[in-house]
Structure 1
Amino acid sequence: MQTSSPLLIGREGDLESLRTAVVDSRGGATRVVAVSGEAGIGKTRLVAEFIAGVPADTIVLRGQCVDLDRDAPPYAPIVAPLRALAAEIGESALFEAAGPARDALAVLLPELATIGASSDSSDRPPAQPRPSSAQGPSGGEQRSASYLYDAVAAALENVARSRPLVVIIEDLHWADQATLGLLRFLVRVLERARILLVVTFRSDELGRGHPLRAWLPELDRNARVSRRELPRLNKRQVRQLSSALRGVPLDAHDLAVVFQRTDGVPFFIEELLCDFVSAEAFPDTLRDILLARYETLSDPTQRLLRLLAAGGVRVEHELLAAVSDASPDAIDDAAREAVLANVLVVDDTAYAFRHALVREAIHEELLPGERMRFHTAYAQALEDRPGAPGVDSTAISYHWMAAHNLTAAFQSSLTAMAEARASYANATAARMGERALELWEQVPDAETLAGRTRVALLGETSYILRNAGESDRAILLIDEAIAGSSADEPEQFARFLRDKASFLANVGHTGSIELLRQALDVLEGSPRSVLRANVLGELAARLMLAARFADAVATADRAFAEAEAVDSRARMSVAVNMRGISRLSLGEIDAGLADLALAGELSEGNDSARLRYWVNESDAMYLLGRFDDAIRIAESGAERARLRGVERTSGVILMSNVIAPLFALGQTRRANEILDRALELDPPIGFSAHLQLQKLQATLRGGDVSGAERLLRTWRAALSLQFRIDAQSRLGFATIAAEIALASGDIALAWREASVIVSPEHRTFPAYDLPLLVVAARVLGAARAGGVDLGVDLAAGGESSPVDPDEIEGRLRSALAAVSAWPTAPVFVALFEAELGGPDHAGSDCALWEAAVERCTAPGVPAPFEPYARLRLAEALAASGERAAARLRADEARVAAERIEMGLIVTQVADLERRVGLVRLPGGRDSTEGATRSVEDELTDRERQVLALIAQGLSNRQIAEQLFISAKTASVHVSNILRKTNTTSRTEAAFLARSFAHVSS
């Protein structure tokens, strides 16, 4: 009887998908196939069947993720394919194929370091590098992940020019975050290479917070990727599989038992049917099924399998010989028996379990003494083989922990921490640092072993956590470090205070400015230093974000002088960067841009300073209306941030700076794709706030008002934290929240959102004040048109002071005057004047809207402004009785809105046409008058009287006084009017009343 089915059953379509993908990739179009399903569902069998049919000229590379609890060695499933590729084409050829960043490959393959050291770059043949902004490492610069990622991508791409590649990475659910980061990069950048990448993972292992979950939506959006989720077999397929295994069909009873006990999982079916004759002998549990073959083996073979299970799914023969106390012949005999029993398979120079589920079940059989001895043997053997393939300090730490040797686990965790940092695997480094901290009190003389104090390790680990995007956790550790420090060690103490200031800002908490000033006090009297320059630069940044621009400039001057004194170009760059963006916001445009340019020059060679330059330079270009420049600069920065492993922090800010100008250029679809991808990274609030504001605005402009309201309710609490430290976020939120309230018909709420612009605490911030001033003017105009009471004016005396629209307009105009010198102000001023124009001061002046349309079609103006201005012009024209012109402008507004997928304006144009009949009948006849009269005819005489008073801006109480009726009766009439005219607010009804009057005239 077969031990596994000779036929691939229930997976025919999946196999065909893989075969199609390899054909496409051989034609020069990179393809990715992600195969998922629960444990035992047949992922590995599908891949094996596919590999058997791959053309002979193809190089097939396989990598296996390691199941070592949470201690997967960084890049482990990438190293094996690269090492196999080196064996296939030669180490020197692989090294040369990696292009300009070739030296970085030694991070993954240390054996290549000797090639790099012995090679003269002038003698190297010109490899064909993948286009990249990254340059090879030079001088004493520390290599960043960008070089490593570029090297791997270039190596695969250049090799694939000669021979097609199939790269298979299995069990991605066990992958470390560094591996996932590299794979994400490869999927994104390899577009026209003869490469097929196949990844497999257990979908039932992806619990909440699993790092792979954030990648899956990105894969789904990539046109080069196909997803194949393998389902369980149905009863018909189970019958086919059982027939293939046994040679004869099962009877109905046995088939029902097999189907019930295995749930249609192919591996369980094979294990069950290959070892048992009838249903009466079938094991009762899945665990019994998994261990059935193991329990039939001899004692020496069972012991060997238990030893192998402690080592993982795959163990090299050389390592197995080192950890086993059996003779070589005994090992061979036991291994042969396990292979013949189909429990193990031979994988090149290693033994691997036929299925990870079997390994897991056998590992659970280990007795405490065995567990300790076996894991100790593995740890010692790995330590004795430094630099050998597969040897990693993370794995050594895992084995020492499993063996309960805490001192050895402590030391190996610190080594693994350093190795992970060197290979840019921040998540792994942080986990190893936290493990060492947990063991500290249990290890004798830990400080001597660690070569640092526990406080220093706390600070170091907290900083790594921050780089891994775990700022909340970082704050807990840095607080402990600060509590254990004092001013007696000023540099360390000041550094911790500075770090906490950064971590707090990342999660939107206040206190950063005070902590930085405390750090400066601690450093008072110390010699000039890079640290003091750093603290001053960070303080300037915090002051800038709080819109305290004059203070920021003065502090940045001090930071620059300090950095210059210690010859730190990186800190000089940051200082002049903060000064430049602050000067820009003070209206010193030329001086600000000159400072930013200098920051760019000084940042060369330092990734951190360079990223900050890209952030502020791209932001400046966007705020000045230079959208193409903003995108170009921000995209360069976002790419570098991702390669450095800080995609969830600095990278998110730069992605935001790509998204905003894309929306401004009307490239809505692309902007939304990048926005959704950035949000999936789940960054801390200090980095995600701008993304959330962009998502709110995109949702509203897309026409989903209720969706925007839901998101606003969901995010308001977290965003409110960021408002306390970031004026940009505060003003941006007020703008979009007021727009959402207006779209929902709640004018009073819209004013409460927008009124921050006239609050006593407001600090002038031109680029962000201007959009908010326009929205505030729009709210005020709508309130006047609809007779809406805006509530109380808290800034003018609290609850006893009702809002005076004329007083508010005066304060808005004063705020506008303070920012009208900003380079992009003319379009905002035109919109502001139009919103408050006309005899009613409510936006009814057609000439002002004509002027606004003209401004909105000028270069450098955000694309969404044009359809809005055209719609408002159409409304004003309709209200003044110019129906033909109104219809034309409404059509123009619709076309402009549809061009940039601005569904809100499209809907509002349709609503305008419905309300006042701006439609064409067949044959081109204008139907405005007939449509308008048909609506008016629905109203009673009394309702027409009430509608006329609504148009004058009267409240229900005032209407009641005018018509000598009760306020309740007036309210009933208003409700009837809104229902009959199909309007949603008093503002719309007032507008409709004016159109009635013009039609009648």
Structure 2
Amino acid sequence: AAAVLGERVDQRLLAEVSLAPPEALAESLQLLVDQQILVAREPGSLAFRHALIREVVAARVLPDQRRRWHESAYAVLRPDADDSTLAWHAAGAGLDAETVATTTRGARAALDRGSGHEALRLAELGLTRRPGDGTLHELAARAAYVRGLYDVAQNHARLWAAAAVGAERAEADCLLASLRWHVGDRAGQWLHLQLALDAVEGGPHTPTLARVYAAHANACLRAEQPAEAVRWADRALATAGGALDVVRRALADKGSALLELGPDHAAEGLALLDNAIAQARAVHDLDTLGRAVNNGLPARWQGLPPLAAWQIYDDAHALVTGLGCETAAGKVVRQGVDLAEQSGQWQRGWDIVIARLPVETDAVERVVLSVKAALLALERGLDDEAVALHERVVVEGHGMDQYWARIYMALLDVAVSARLRGQGEALRSLTRYRAAVTAQEHQRRAYRSAQAGLWALDAGVSPAQVRGFLAATGVKPEHPGARASFAHLECALLETEGSVAAAVAAGRDAVDCMDLPASWRADAHTRLGRCLLRTGLVSEARRQVGIALEMLAQWPGWRRRTAEQVRSRLDAPHRELTVREREVSALVVEGLPNRVIAERLGVSPRTIAVHVSRILAKTNCRSRTELAVSILRPVS
């Protein structure tokens, strides 16, 4: 009887169900405890030490006996037990109506307290007794969504929608819209939102109408249309009435959208997010809580030192994972990897992304996290890991229509091709990158095009080909968030073309931009230092490379090795060239003889000969040819 009645059994219930005399029951139970078959978990409660033993014992009980024990347990517990317990016994007793009633109430209560696992278990138990029940499919869909089981949620949501009409169908379409987004189907998201709006717009102001407005606000936020998101959120708030779930969602989306509108709106945006977090946490609204926590992270740690920023991340990660906010956990980890890149902490970024990947259930998030992991692997020189992750991205990302994810996948293709497959494949990968999305979508992520250009340039693709690629994608430095990356790329292009003075100017612009991740800022400092060395400004070159190495102290890999190679050249005996000596050395590099240099500078050939002699001595070069090679030679 104990095996049949559940994982844990109250001794008083066991006595009433088994009808055994109290003394005989106590003696039997004590024997089972002594034999380590049963164990006392808490006063008056017993459990099997191993689940497998319970399953074997329960399987030996005849069906009729099992049913009678469950009937007795249901009758005994009905006045006081929770619906979850009653549902188990009602199902075991074959009481279909009671099973449906208790699983429906129990699943709804479990969702209200944030237990998606329990809610899904109960709803699916109820569906075994009443297949096609719309309410149970709704509860199962919402429970699976909270747990991040998007395929399961979609199956239930579609069955719910098929049985629903009017306002209920609109609610089902809102959930289906969100689910389509999570599996990478942006068009499907908008289709379901339009169906939901068509079903309720023009009618009275109801909570369902407000929920449809809130769903549109969330979709606009995902589509990077913050002004539209604010408009829809305001409409949701205006029509929410007493629907507090709508108020929480609208506050979260409006607050997030205000942060996207710029620093002038940051204080108001964070205040709305704090309000949404407090309300959502009080009622275990895990979806809204997770979104509000995640969306505020960059604004909260903006300008803070790394230690303080990481504390904010750790608190957010502990909150969403501790409460089971599966819809947000992967997104928070993605923000953590961004923070690791921004602060130059390779190992921290690698550890958190590799820990999250095996358990991430959001298809889009899993692809993006795989891209981030692969790029980190390339930085460190973990080529096999990078290739394996790239292959995974190609398979799992196929068919996704979210442009930012497709751009990210294309960037990884360029990076892998550039680092591991040579100049020819790097050039072909630029063509694939250009074709991945529309010109308008490229412009919304213009800085990614600049990053792709840098990867390809370092693989030997010519500056002219990189400039042609940028022109074909239609991206410019004026596009949002692109100035720093374009200054970095322009420095690299000009250095490769031999325009050292112009490269220095572009490099100074790049290192002044704090928008670049630490490893890319360090790369800009290294390039600037290399160019300064070529112009004879040894002390400033040494300072720039020193900054790069400080930034790369916790970023092992090829970027740090490159900076160390430049430093080794700087550590060789050098003396600073005068302004006139730098002018002469630049003309020597052009291959001009002393007579022509003298004519250009308006001095005598004898003076130029003295300058050349001093330049060779200061740079430890034995000839004009060696001087030209040392100035023109970039460090690979």
Q: Deviations over 1:229-252 (max 9, x none)?
A: xxxxxxxxxxxxxxxxxxxxxxxx
Shift of 1:479: 1.0
Cα distance in 2 between the residues matched to 1:781 and 1:343 = 68
Correspondences of 1:658-807 after superposition (within 5 Å): 658-722=336-400, 724-725=401-402, 727-744=403-420, 745=422, 746-755=425-434, 759-762=438-441, 764-765=443-444, 768-770=445-447, 772-778=448-454, 781=457, 786=461, 807=468
Cα distance in 2 between the residues matched to 1:345 and 1:873 = 70
Q: Which residue of 1 aligns with 2:72?
A: 377
Contact 1:830–1:855 (8 Å) recurs in 2: yes
Contact 1:873–1:886 (8 Å) recurs in 2: no
Contact 2:333–2:356 (8 Å) recurs in 1: yes
Matched, 1:845 2:500: yes
Shift of 1:495: 0.7
Q: Deviations over 1:465-485 (max 9, x none)?
A: 111211111111111122223
The structure 1 residue matched to 2:11, chosen from 292, 311, 317, is: 317
Describe the shift of the 1:460–1:329 C-alpha distance in structure 2 as closer, same or farther (beyond 3 A): closer
* Aligned amino acid, residue 116 of structure 2: N
Shift of 1:580: 6.8
The structure 2 residue matched to 1:512, chosen from 189, 195, 200, is: 189
Q: Which residue of 1 aligns with 2:297?
A: 618
Instruction: Compute the TM-score of the two structures, normalised by the length of structure 2.
Output: 0.75
Shift of 1:318: 1.8
Shift of 1:521: 1.4
Q: Which residue of 2 aligns with 1:466?
A: 145
Describe the shift of the 1:696–1:531 C-alpha distance in structure 2 as closer, same or farther (beyond 3 A): farther
Describe the shift of the 1:368–1:516 C-alpha distance in structure 2 as closer, same or farther (beyond 3 A): closer
Shift of 1:602: 5.3
Shift of 1:907: 4.3
* Aligned amino acid, residue 737 of structure 1: D
Contact 1:417–1:430 (8 Å) recurs in 2: yes
Correspondences of 1:250-269 after superposition (within 5 Å): none
Answer with 1 or 2: which has the greater Rg.
1
Q: Which residue of 1 aligns with 2:266?
A: 593
Secondary structure of 1:764's partner?
helix
* Aligned amino acid, residue 139 of structure 2: E
Matched, 1:830 2:504: no
Cα distance in 1 between the residues matched to 2:275 and 2:32 = 63
Correspondences of 1:410-421 after superposition (within 5 Å): 410-421=100-111
Q: Which residue of 1 aligns with 2:227?
A: 553
Shift of 1:672: 3.2
Contact 1:650–1:687 (8 Å) recurs in 2: no
Contact 1:837–1:848 (8 Å) recurs in 2: yes
Describe the shift of the 1:354–1:483 C-alpha distance in structure 2 as closer, same or farther (beyond 3 A): closer
* Aligned amino acid, residue 410 of structure 2: A
Secondary structure of 1:902's partner?
coil
Cα distance in 1 between the residues matched to 2:29 and 2:67 = 22
Describe the shift of the 1:311–1:860 C-alpha distance in structure 2 as closer, same or farther (beyond 3 A): same
Q: Deviations over 1:402-458 (max 9, x none)?
A: 4444444334433432443344321121111012122115xxxxxxxxxxx922332
Q: Deviations over 1:247-287 (max 9, x none)?
A: xxxxxxxxxxxxxxxxxxxxxxxxxxxxxxxxxxxxxxxxx
Cα distance in 2 between the residues matched to 1:314 and 1:429 = 19
Correspondences of 1:189-338 after superposition (within 5 Å): 307-311=1-5, 315-332=9-26, 334-335=28-29
Q: Which residue of 1 aligns with 2:606?
A: none
Shift of 1:900: 2.1
Cα distance in 1 between the residues matched to 2:201 and 2:51 = 60
Q: Which residue of 1 aligns with 2:522?
A: 867
Contact 2:216–2:232 (8 Å) recurs in 1: no
Shift of 1:919: 9.5
Describe the shift of the 1:600–1:876 C-alpha distance in structure 2 as closer, same or farther (beyond 3 A): same
Superposed CA RMSD in Å reads 4.3
Correspondences of 1:343-382 after superposition (within 5 Å): 349=44, 359-382=54-77
Correspondences of 1:80-119 after superposition (within 5 Å): none
Q: Which residue of 1 aligns with 2:120?
A: 430
* Aligned amino acid, residue 593 of structure 1: A
Q: Which residue of 1 aligns with 2:610?
A: none
Describe the shift of the 1:611–1:530 C-alpha distance in structure 2 as closer, same or farther (beyond 3 A): farther
Secondary structure of 2:120's partner?
helix
Contact 1:649–1:687 (8 Å) recurs in 2: no
Cα distance in 1 between the residues matched to 2:39 and 2:170 = 57
Describe the shift of the 1:581–1:363 C-alpha distance in structure 2 as closer, same or farther (beyond 3 A): closer
Shift of 1:575: 5.1
Higher relative CO (CA 8 A, sep ≥ 6), structure 1 or 2?
A: 1
Q: Which residue of 2 aligns with 1:263?
A: none
Q: After the TM superposition, which of the residue ranges 337-346 and 863-872 deviates more from structure 2?
A: 337-346
Cα distance in 1 between the residues matched to 2:51 and 2:244 = 52
Contact 2:453–2:466 (8 Å) recurs in 1: no
Secondary structure of 1:432's partner?
helix
Describe the shift of the 1:312–1:533 C-alpha distance in structure 2 as closer, same or farther (beyond 3 A): closer
Describe the shift of the 1:382–1:775 C-alpha distance in structure 2 as closer, same or farther (beyond 3 A): same
Unaligned runs of 5+ in 1: 1-306, 442-452, 789-802, 927-991
Secondary structure of 1:363's partner?
helix
Q: Which has the higher helix share?
A: 2
Shift of 1:640: 3.9
Task: Give the number of aligned pairs.
Answer: 569
Contact 1:604–1:610 (8 Å) recurs in 2: yes
The structure 1 residue matched to 2:511, chosen from 856, 870, 877, is: 856
Contact 1:664–1:862 (8 Å) recurs in 2: yes
Cα distance in 2 between the residues matched to 1:598 and 1:346 = 49
Cα distance in 1 between the residues matched to 2:246 and 2:34 = 65
Shift of 1:714: 0.7
Shift of 1:740: 2.8
Cα distance in 2 between the residues matched to 1:733 and 1:412 = 47
Q: Deviations over 1:139-184 (max 9, x none)?
A: xxxxxxxxxxxxxxxxxxxxxxxxxxxxxxxxxxxxxxxxxxxxxx
Cα distance in 2 between the residues matched to 1:376 and 1:689 = 49
Shift of 1:614: 3.5
Q: Which residue of 1 aligns with 2:476?
A: 816
Instruction: Compute the TM-score of the two structures, normalised by the length of structure 1.
Output: 0.50
Cα distance in 2 between the residues matched to 1:538 and 1:342 = 54
Correspondences of 1:126-165 after superposition (within 5 Å): none
Secondary structure of 2:340's partner?
helix
Shift of 1:515: 1.3
* Aligned amino acid, residue 764 of structure 1: Q
* Aligned amino acid, residue 478 of structure 1: A
Secondary structure of 1:326's partner?
coil
Secondary structure of 1:606's partner?
helix
Contact 1:755–1:776 (8 Å) recurs in 2: no
Q: Which residue of 2 aligns with 1:903?
A: 557
Secondary structure of 2:443's partner?
coil
Unaligned runs of 5+ in 2: 575-625
Describe the shift of the 1:829–1:625 C-alpha distance in structure 2 as closer, same or farther (beyond 3 A): farther
Describe the shift of the 1:737–1:897 C-alpha distance in structure 2 as closer, same or farther (beyond 3 A): farther
Describe the shift of the 1:317–1:694 C-alpha distance in structure 2 as closer, same or farther (beyond 3 A): same
Describe the shift of the 1:617–1:331 C-alpha distance in structure 2 as closer, same or farther (beyond 3 A): closer
Shift of 1:593: 3.1
Describe the shift of the 1:717–1:332 C-alpha distance in structure 2 as closer, same or farther (beyond 3 A): closer
Describe the shift of the 1:422–1:543 C-alpha distance in structure 2 as closer, same or farther (beyond 3 A): closer
Describe the shift of the 1:369–1:717 C-alpha distance in structure 2 as closer, same or farther (beyond 3 A): same
Q: Deviations over 1:349-407 (max 9, x none)?
A: 456667666555443432333333334333433335x25xxxx5434433444444444
Q: Which residue of 2 aligns with 1:543?
A: 220
Cα distance in 2 between the residues matched to 1:578 and 1:818 = 28
Describe the shift of the 1:414–1:677 C-alpha distance in structure 2 as closer, same or farther (beyond 3 A): same
* Aligned amino acid, residue 175 of structure 2: D
Shift of 1:871: 3.7
